[in-house]
Amino acid sequence: LPGDVSAEWYPDGSGLLIAHSFEARSELFRYDLSGRALTEIPTPPGTVSGATARPDGSVEYLWSSAAEPSAVRSTAGAVVLDPPGMKSPGSVPVQDVWVEGPGGRIHALVQKPEGSTGPLPTVFDIHGGPTWHDSDSFAAGPAAWVDHGYAVIRVNYRGSTGYGRAWTDALKHRVGLIELEDIAAVREWAVSSGIADPDRLVLTGGSWGGYLTLLGLGVQPDAWTLGIAAVPVADYVTAYHDEMEALKAMDRTLLGGTPEEVPDRFEASSPLTYVDQVKAPVYISAGVNDPRCPIRQIENYVKRLEARGAVHEVYRYDAGHGSLVVDERIKQVRLELEFAERYLKGVPGAQ
């Protein structure tokens, strides 16, 4: 099976329940140990985020698609659990797009408001990780942008999982710059195809996606109308020295050493290096207790924006690498939408 595979035992030990993720979709299989047969377990098109086999042989799994919110389902035919509380209204399906890029074909997921015609204000919502991927699963952030009249494009750049080992391992030494090449290729396609309005392009993301947002605003200053970065890496050298040990090990792997050993690579991959080239308004949100993307390196970046009077806003909140408080998360989405509406012209507004 190409892509990513995980497995767990059936309760009686007779086989393995295999979860397979490939090209932004996932599926389930049973591998029977006695007959060594691999049998697909029917699930709806979309993403299975977790699954477990029950003693009766049925499988319960957490499923969603871009259009339908998460629910726990069973191969026995029932919805086992619908999340309590307020129900999400759902969103629109994704369109799969493949774009030729410098390192191979790039997979992007596109959502547009129902009945809309382009060119549209368009949000490039960049996933974190970098060893992760966007999939055909429900995501409240993109759904909110679509509800407010934006097209949303998510790019599974080189370094993403779910496309084979070579695609994931392509992200070495030219960290950040490789991903931006792929994002730029999809941006060019979106504009030339008539989906995206080149004068109303938002680059956004959280964590590694926030890092790519700040880096993109500096490396590609004429490509983006505004940027919205959540809990980003902004000053790579300071981030390395302040972050948790596990992330230091990851950075040494990606860049081939420490900032002292490979200073040129860290400099080339750091948003701080290009901060004076940023032209677009920038919105940054940061947790003051973040161990992954610590606040000090973000403040270093913000000070450089302040020094030259660049248009920017910063929202600091009392949490770590994001917040699990629902009201806080809703507030942050609202602040991002309001920032975009202030600096983009002709946004249709909430539907």
Q: What is the DSSP string of 18-78?
A: EEEEETTEEEEEEEETTTTEEEEEP--SSEEEEEEE-TTS-EEEEEE-SSS--EEEETTSS
pLDDT given for residue 345 in this prediction: 73
Helix (H) / strand (E) element for 121: namely strand 120-126
Spatial separation of the C-alpha atoms in residues 138 and 89, rounded to whole Å: 11
pLDDT given for residue 351 in this prediction: 41
Spatial separation of the C-alpha atoms in residues 143 and 96, rounded to whole Å: 17
Which residue, 225, 221, 213, 197, is CA-closest to 339?
225
Spatial separation of the C-alpha atoms in residues 88 and 24, rounded to whole Å: 22
Q: What is the pTM of this model?
A: 0.94
Spatial CB neighbours of 58, under 8 Å, sequence gap ≥ 6: 74, 75, 76
pLDDT tens digit at each of 351 positions of the chain: 888 999 999 999 999 999 999 999 999 999 999 999 999 999 999 999 999 999 999 999 999 999 999 889 999 887 787 767 777 889 999 999 999 999 999 999 999 999 998 899 999 999 999 999 999 999 999 999 999 999 999 999 999 999 999 999 998 889 999 999 999 999 999 999 999 999 999 999 999 999 999 999 999 999 999 999 999 999 999 999 999 999 999 999 999 999 999 999 999 999 999 999 999 999 999 999 888 899 999 999 999 999 999 999 999 999 989 898 889 999 999 999 999 999 997 665 434
pLDDT given for residue 348 in this prediction: 59
